[in-house]
Structures are given as structure tokens and as C-alpha cells.
């Protein structure tokens, strides 16, 4: 009987420790810091093999540090943080040449859809927190803000591609960038991602108000 009680206590303790470890990892602050560490390691790896992807890694790290500092002030919910981190992680797979791969469509096309969706989740929370706008007004503001941000990044990419020439990462001219209508398809996917993300957030807000 005594042995059974000790076994039960041991199981409960292990379960408690497992839950505690999981909660530590899933804490948004810790999740961001873990991803920063992983991206830094990937940057070192890319630099060591002569890949220019480490430039992307440096920009990602700066963006994540900014996000870490301000996401709570923007009232961004944990699930939206995790989705954004997942999108950033998918982008970071470029360190292993994923942007050169094709999965029916080029990997780049999917990322131009997923990243605006992730950003639109975060910005919708920010707009909701900082304003008393109606759902309709937030809907249009969010779409145009995210699409404008994505298009600004496209312009920056184009400028640096012209300046730096061929290489790997968003600042250099890659194989995908040489395809016909590449920029137009990127802009369309950016818009589609902004619309999808904003529609999800708007319907979520309407549903919560009515239930």
C-alpha cells in the first residue's frame, strides 16, 4: 500500500513537472526568445557555408526583438503570437534552400500568403485595442495597412536586388525573382493573405459579440 502511494505521488510529480515545462516553453515571451536563439544559430550556419541568408536572419532577429518588446502593449493575444512565430519559422527554412523548392507552386508563393495572414492577425488586435472603430472600418484599415506593409517590403527587396545582385534571401536576386510576373503574383498573394487574415479576425469579433 505504501509503495502504491509512493508510485502515485511520483507519477503526479512527473506530470506536474511535465506541465510546468510545457507552460514555460509555450509562454509567448519564452517562445520568442527560443526562436531568436534558433534563428541566430541558423544565421551562423548560413554564414559558415557562404550563404547570404544570414542577412535575412539578422533582420528576423531585429524584428523579433522589436515584437518581443511591444507585443503586449499592442494587446496581441498569445495564439496570434504563436501563428506569427510559426510563419517566421517557415520563412527561416530558407536557410536550407526551401525558397528554391516547388510544392505545386513555388515555396515563395505560399510564404507571400502565410506571412500577411499572420501579420493581419496581430495588426487587427492592435487596431482594435487602439481605436473604437466599427468592424467594417477596422476591416478595410487592416487590409490596406497589411497590404501596404507587404508592398513596401517588396519595394525594398527590389531596390536591394538591383544593388546587391544574385544571392539567397529576400535582399538578393534569386531564381524565383527571374520568373515572369513574379512581382505581380507576389502582390496578389500579399493582398489575398491580408484579406483572409482580416476576414477571420472580423468574423471572430462578430461571433464573440453575438455569443
Q: What is the pLDDT of residue 115?
A: 95
Q: What is the pLDDT of residue 16?
A: 47
Beta bridge partners of 173: 166
CA-nearest of 91, 100, 89 to 166 is 100
pLDDT in tens, 111-124: 999 999 999 999 99
Please tell me what DSSP assigns to residue 166.
Answer: B
Give dist(CA 116, CA 55) in Å, integer.
Answer: 21
Instruction: Give the confidence band of 7 by pLDDT, cuts at 50, 70, 90.
Output: low
**Cβ distance 173 to 161 under 8 Å?**
yes
pLDDT in tens, 161-191: 777 777 777 777 666 655 556 778 888 999 9
pLDDT at 9 over 70: no
Where along the chain do its domains lie?
A: 2-210
136: cell is 467594417
Please tell me what DSSP assigns to residue 172.
Answer: S
Residue with cell 503570437: 81
Instruction: Give the confidence band of 61 by pLDDT, cuts at 50, 70, 90.
Output: very high
Indicate the average pLDDT of the chain: 84
CA-nearest of 45, 27, 134, 132 to 81 is 27
116: cell is 500577411
Give dist(CA 133, CA 90) in Å, integer.
Answer: 33
Instruction: Tell me the pairing of strands 105-106 and 102-103.
Output: antiparallel
pLDDT at 21 over 90: no
Amino acid at each position: 500500500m505504501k509503495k502504491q502511494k509512493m508510485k502515485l505521488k511520483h507519477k503526479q510529480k512527473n506530470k506536474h513537472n511535465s506541465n510546468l515545462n510545457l507552460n514555460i516553453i509555450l509562454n509567448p515571451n519564452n517562445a520568442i526568445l527560443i526562436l531568436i536563439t534558433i534563428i541566430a544559430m541558423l544565421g551562423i550556419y548560413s554564414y559558415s557555408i557562404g550563404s547570404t541568408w544570414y542577412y535575412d536572419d539578422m533582420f528576423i532577429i531585429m524584428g523579433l526583438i522589436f515584437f518581443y518588446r511591444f507585443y503586449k502593449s499592442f494587446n496581441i493575444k498569445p495564439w496570434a503570437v504563436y501563428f506569427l512565430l510559426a510563419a517566421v519559422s517557415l520563412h527561416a527554412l530558407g536557410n536550407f534552400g526551401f525558397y528554391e523548392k516547388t510544392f505545386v507552386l513555388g515555396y515563395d508563393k505560399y510564404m507571400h500568403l502565410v506571412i500577411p495572414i499572420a501579420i493581419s492577425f496581430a495588426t487587427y488586435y492592435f487596431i482594435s485595442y487602439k481605436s473604437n472603430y466599427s468592424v467594417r472600418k477596422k476591416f478595410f484599415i487592416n487590409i490596406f495597412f497589411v497590404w501596404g506593409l507587404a508592398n513596401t517590403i517588396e519595394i525594398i527587396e527590389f531596390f536591394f536586388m538591383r544593388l546587391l545582385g544574385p544571392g539567397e534571401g529576400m535582399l538578393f536576386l534569386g531564381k524565383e525573382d527571374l520568373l515572369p510576373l513574379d512581382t505581380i503574383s507576389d502582390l496578389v498573394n500579399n493582398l489575398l493573405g491580408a484579406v483572409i487574415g482580416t476576414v477571420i479576425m472580423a468574423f471572430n469579433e462578430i461571433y464573440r459579440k453575438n455569443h
